[in-house]
Amino acid sequence: MPSSITPDIAGLRALSHPVRLRMLALLRGEGPATATTLAQRLDLNTGATSYHLRQLAQHGFIEEDTERGNARDRWWRAAHESTRTDFRESGTVDSDVEAYLTTVALMYADRMRAAVAEMAFLPQEWRSSGTLSDWEVRLTPAQAEALLRSLVTTIEATEDSDADDAAPFVVNLNAFVRPGQQWGAS
């Protein structure tokens, strides 16, 4: 399975729908599933779920898992481990990219709220394993790019563990220029 995909504008448009983004996250995190299983998890009807699965498949985010199921039970799996956005080609953030990023930001916020709500119920050894920290450093665009490359390299070099006490551990990398800056003011 390829480790990541950088979707084109049509792919970003498809992922801008919150249900599709949640489906993709479930297929990545929990493995292959049927439309019926996903419909139950997302509290949707199977018709709507099948439509969204077809949209994800059309843009290469998921694929049919032909090793499972039968003619009545169609299984789907993620076609990659992560989605990346790259604005360098166009140099702009158009409305399709902004819609996708807004959906991602909302999903990240929901996931973080759920993680905080569950912290008290975690086994002791997991209670201090995460962080919701932030740093603000003054950088040039070249320094910011180098920092991002270094962080991504570290994350991608980390191998999954087969240990009995291993668990899925989410890393969201959010890095951006602090909002509210006055650009071009003298």
- Mapping DSSP onto H, E and C, the string for 139-179 reads CCHHHHHHHHHHHHHHHHHCCCCCCCCCCCCCCCCCCCCCC
Q: Which two tokens stand for residue 117?
A: 């709500």
The one-character DSSP state at 3 is S
What is the side-by-side order of every strand in the sheet holding 62-64?
A: 33-34, 75-78, 62-64
The candidate with the shortest Cα–Cα distance to 106, out of 175, 14, 17, is 17
Looking at residue 145, its pLDDT comes to 93
Q: What pLDDT, on the 0 to 100 scale, is given for residue 83? A: 87
Q: Give the pLDDT of residue 179.
A: 85
CA dihedral 62, 66, 70, 73 (to 10 degrees): -10
Say how many residues make up the chain.
186
> Mind listing the pLDDT tens digit for each residue in 93-143?
678 888 888 999 999 999 999 999 999 999 988 988 888 899 999 999 999
The alpha carbon of residue 80 and the mean position of all alpha carbons in its chain are separated, in whole angstroms, by: 11
Residue type at 146 in one-letter notation: A
Collapsed DSSP state (helix, strand, coil) of residue 5: strand
Task: Identify the structural domains of the chain with CATH numbers, from first to last.
Answer: 1-134 (1.10.10.10)
Question: What is the DSSP track for 59-122?
Answer: TTSEEE-TTS--SS--EEEESSSEE----TTTSS--HHHHHHHHHHHHHHHHHHHHHHHHGGGS
| pLDDT score for 76 | 96
Q: What angle do CA 98, 101, 103 make, to 5 degrees?
A: 110
CB-neighbour burial class of residue 178 (10 A; exposed 0-12, middle 13-18, buried 19+): exposed
**In the predicted model, what is the mean pLDDT of the chain?**
89
Q: Strand 4-5 relative to strand 82-83: parallel, antiparallel, unpaired?
A: parallel
How distant, in Å, are the alpha carbons of 43, 104, 130, 162 from that of 14? Answer: 20, 12, 31, 34
pLDDT for 2 beyond 90: no
